Amino acid sequence: GDGLNPYAETWNLTFSNRKASEIAAIKAFLISVRDVTPFDWQAPDDATSKKWKIKGKFTISDGEADTRTISFVVKRWFGA
């Protein structure tokens, strides 16, 4: 591959059947970082956290009872 970091890892994240208040907190975070501000996140198979950015839009759907689901994609960020 070309460049210093030719492979940009992505993760499709889904938080299912969560309380509306929890989904609202996740949504507020996603809006605050949008796709411009990198943040620390530790992927399930990693020993340490790395820098990530939101890729594209998020979706929210209603679940059973009083729950909701939120889905979005994060992409590894290699900036300074």
Q: pLDDT of 28-39, one tens digit each? A: 999 999 889 999
pTM of the model: 0.85
Amino acid letter for position 37: T
Cα separation, 41 vs 48, in Å, equals: 8
Question: What is the mean predicted confidence (pLDDT) over 70-79?
Answer: 94
Other Cβ atoms closer than 10 A to 19: 13
Question: What is the mean predicted confidence (pLDDT) over 26-50?
Answer: 94
Cα separation, 31 vs 56, in Å, equals: 11
pLDDT at 66: 87
Residue with tokens 């492979």: 7
